[in-house]
Amino acid sequence: MAKELENKAKEAFLDDDFALAADCYSEAINLDPSNPLLYADRAQAHIKLQNFTEAVSDANKAIQLSPSLAKAYLRKGTACIKLEEYQTAKVALQTGASFAPDDSRFTKLVQDCDRYIAEESNDLASTLLPRVPTTPAGNGSHSTDRSIDSTKEAERDSSVPQINEVATTRPKFRHEYYQRPEEVVVTIFAKGIPADDVIVDFGEQIMSVTIAVPGQEPYRYQQRLFGKIVPDKCRVLVLSTKVEIRLAKAEALNWTSLEYSKHVLPQKINAMTNQPERPTYPSSKPRTKDWDKLEALMKKEEKEEKLDGDAALNKLFRDIYQNADEDMRRAMSKSFLESNGTVLSTDWKEVGSKKVESSPPEGLELKKWEY
């Protein structure tokens, strides 16, 4: 069934029906979630639809499943170039080139990244000098109007159709943010979500959040951020009432919004004072609040929160997972998934070399659902 959907997606792609192709790949992924080629191909459909952050997320998943899949690095590099994430794109393309040394597209795109990085550095240097505002000359965006290669497949990677409007799904969870000189803290108010169901990917200036919701479409929040971040220093904390994402700023800049805007120039934060700065929350209310005290109170309430039933059991499992080492986490994930949620083991030596069979409670019978 997954193969039939994959073939249908490829036919839709050849007919330039990229939305249908993406939907077919999504259905195929639901049936075969461990196939890296499906994610890489859906990333290409997202590129055609100008859903570049979704393309990066799919490419990352394909790379996670198959670290030597050159096509996945090509998709990631292409999408990151469209997002003007040239450093991230260059790293991905150089890695992909090591797995496909004869593919000239990687060399061409790396050269493009070097040129864009140099232009970006020159633009940054010019903003430090006084200048008179001028009207844009209308030369177009170098990240979207340049072709990648002369071959047919390269054209499919680089040419993006003009979409007047892409429908967006309504967020299921409310989110807000505040910032400090060194970081931006994004809070998504998702209650009772297991840590395993939250996936957050970071790029040079990208944040992609996916939260699995039982019985519903996954919640997705992908955004090009106002400023650049340091992905290796970013952290994710899944609590009982929210998901907290701490973005490490690459520079001490004041973010006037969470999302990127080409019309707003970032401002340096004045670090001359020795007094620690409190986080600044965007608010239209004239009164001020002691946010440090409020945050400490919320954390205290979460720590002292008394749960029972499934909520208490889920919290226990989350605590075990968060305090476990890498082998214990792998064992928990593998045993839970392979046993259809009936076995949870922390012993990797026991479950790592064999498939974990389902073990339903006494009196219950395990049945497979047919789609």
pLDDT digits (tens, 9 = 90+) for 241-273: 889 999 999 988 888 888 887 777 666 655 444
Q: Which of 40-49, 82-91, 335-344 has the lowest mean pLDDT?
A: 335-344
Compute the distance between CA of residue 135 and CA of residue 15 in angstroms, rounded to an integer.
40
Identify the residue with better confidence: 167 or 104: 104
From 138-152, 202-216, 227-241, 296-310, the region with the lowest mean pLDDT: 138-152
* pLDDT for the residue numbered 93: 93
Give the mean pLDDT of 127-146.
43
Q: List C-alpha distances in Å: 68 to 63, 98, 109.
A: 7, 9, 19
Top pLDDT among 363 and 201 is at 201
Q: Are 211 and 173 in contact (CB under 8 A)?
A: yes
pLDDT at 272: 41
- Domains of the chain from N-terminus onward: 1-124 (1.25.40.10), 174-248 (2.60.40.790), 307-370 (no CATH)
pLDDT score for 34: 92
The larger pLDDT score, comparing residue 281 to residue 168, is at: 281
Indicate the pairing of strand 235-238 with strand 243-248.
antiparallel
> Tokens 């707003």 sit at which residue?
264
Question: How high is the pLDDT of residue 41?
Answer: 94
Report the pLDDT value the prediction gives residue 351, as an integer from 0 to 100.
81
The residue-averaged pLDDT of 72-87 equals: 89
More confident position, 325 or 292 = 325
Whole-angstrom distance, CA of residue 183 vs CA of residue 250: 9
CB-CB contact of 126 with 153 (8 Å): no
d(CA 14, CA 9): 9
What is the pLDDT at residue 280? 55
- Residue 15 — very low, low, confident or very high, per pLDDT cuts 50/70/90? confident
Please state, in angstroms and as integers, the Cα–Cα distance from residue 124 to each residue in 98, 120, 128, 179, following that order: 31, 6, 7, 23
Q: Reply yes or no on whether the pLDDT at 350 is more than 80.
A: yes
DSSP 311: H
Mean pLDDT value across the chain? 77
What confidence score (pLDDT) does residue 357 get?
81
pLDDT at 217: 81
**Between 123 and 71, residue with greater pLDDT:** 71
- How far apart CA 242 and CA 301 sit, in angstroms, is 13
Q: What is residue 148's predicted lDDT score, i.e. its pLDDT?
A: 38
| Rounded mean pLDDT, 285-299 | 68
Mean pLDDT of the region 285-297? 68
| Structural tokens at position 360 | 């339903």
Reading the block at residue 192, the tokens are 């009772």
Are 78 and 109 in contact by the 8 Å Cβ rule? The answer is: yes
